[in-house]
Amino acid sequence: MKELVRSNILNVKAYVSGKPIEETKRQLGLREVIKLASNENPLGPSPKAVSAIKKCLSGINRYPDSQGFYLKRRLARHLSLDPENFILGNGSDELIDIIIKTFVEPDENIVTSDTTFLEYEIIAQVNDRKIKKAPLRYFKYDLAAMLKLVDKKTKLVFIANPNNPTGTYVTKYEVADFLGALPDSILVVFDEAYDAFIDVDDYPDSLAYLRRKKKIIILKTFSKSYGLAGLRLGYAMAERELVSYMERVRQPFNVNMLAQAGGIAALDDKDFIKNTRRLVLKGKDFIYQELSRMGLGFLPSAANFVLVDTGKDGLEIFKAMLKFGVIVRQMKQYGLKDFIRVTIGTQKENERFIRVLRKILKEKN
Ligand SMILES: *Cc1c(COP(=O)(O)O)cnc(C)c1O
């Protein structure tokens, strides 16, 4: 059947997601499984979002608002922009696709980093667009190396900041240098899925660049800090004119009614975000401390996950942890053979992760 398929699709390595809890329980006959594999919010969804969604349920015989009027208005107020600066997506994944489709010609290319969010490459390949990747430097995006990859045919740059799966971030100084040296014909996408967890002073203010009408697109998601991964909701911010072109590519009903209602309520739930942030920062400190005591290497992370150097085969560690009902992410796909990535959970989950990891490493020694 291969001959039926477009050749670029034959080269695509399908995305492998974190293992779902229910499937793992069934397969391994386990009662208690915890998932620390997809950087979701361990507190669940915001209760305010849940009740807003419930109120909407009896209306789902209707199509959703194709413009996302109320959610965009709420976002505009939240971020002091105009509703016309926003486009909504079925997760920010969909917006990556819309961006590539809107801006990158068949003979143009995209520049990003190696060892980053896999969807940039997958979606570029599906759209038959070339993507060029600069290696990380000390596990960080190397913007200077990316600049060297830029050529006359480069249209788009993706910067995951903080980066997934490393948790490292590029500073405002690095971004200023990069944007200063980049030709004006190139659009830069800042994917800020983890911005709620930032607690450093030198994180770049991408919105300030947007306000100065630079060619910037900022991506945000409700999947991580807002606890709405299952609803599929993300948004992009850009200059109105750029948004208007992306709106031509977007499917009219891409964001469902429940997601729109849940998103508005989640934005209103300030306490929920504050509690989530506090939990993650505290949990991260605990995990750093315990990993250090075990003599394991890890990368200090600006996000809600930590990349851990197990000193062993990461896939083996992943499988062994799974048998004890702890799902972490194995990093083979990213070419990080010895590593696992663990999402910060509740204190109880973090303790269980450490207990199981310690036990397994002891057995393997
Ligand atoms: C999780 C994540 C996203 C969010 O994707 P959604 O489609 O909105 O769930 C985007 N970018 C990065 C880097 C991520 O890690």
DSSP 247-258: HHHS-TT-S-HH
- Whether the predicted pLDDT of 365 surpasses 80: no
Query: Which of 15, 166, 168, 224 to mutate to test ligand 1, by most ligand atoms within 8 A of the CB atom?
Result: 224
Secondary structure of 140-204 in HEC code, one letter for each residue: ECCHHHHHHHCCCCEEEEEEECCCCCCCCCCCHHHHHHHHHHCCCCCEEEEECCCHHHCCCCCCC
User: Which of 25-29, 79-83, 220-224, 324-328 comes out lowest in average pLDDT?
Assistant: 25-29
Mean pLDDT over 125-145 rounds to 98
Q: How far is CA 152 from the centre of its chain?
A: 29
Residue 233 CA: nearest ligand 1 atom is 8
Please give the Cα distance from 210 to 103 (Å, whole number): 17
Look at residue 67 and tell me whether its pLDDT is greater than 90. yes
Give the pLDDT of residue 14: 84
Residue nearest ligand 1's atom 11 by CA: 193
- Ligand 1: distance of its center to the CA of 62 in Å? 28
Q: What is the mean pLDDT of residues 285-304?
A: 98
* Atom 1 of ligand 1, nearest CA residue: 193
- Going from N- to C-terminal start, the domains of the chain cover 2-44+271-364, 47-269
Which residue owns the Cα nearest ligand 1 atom 14?
193
The CA 362 to ligand 1 mean position distance, Å, reads 34
pLDDT of residue 105: 98
Of the candidate CATH numbers 2.40.128.110, 3.40.640.10, 3.40.50.2000, 3.30.950.10, the domain formed by 47-269 belongs to: 3.40.640.10
Residues facing residue 220 across a β-bridge? 235
- Give pLDDT tens digits for 346-358: 999 999 999 999 9
For residues 204-212, average pLDDT: 96
Residue nearest to atom 2 of ligand 1 (CA): 193
15, 90, 93: residue to mutate for ligand 1 pocket, most atoms within 8 A of CB: 93
pLDDT of residue 69: 98
Superfamily classification of domain 2-44+271-364: Aspartate Aminotransferase, domain 1 (3.90.1150.10)
Calculate how far, in angstroms, residue 335's C-alpha sits from the geometric centre of ligand 1: 20
Q: Is the pLDDT of residue 17 over 90?
A: no
Once rounded to an integer, what is the mean pLDDT over residues 238-260? 98
What is the residue-averaged pLDDT of the chain? 96
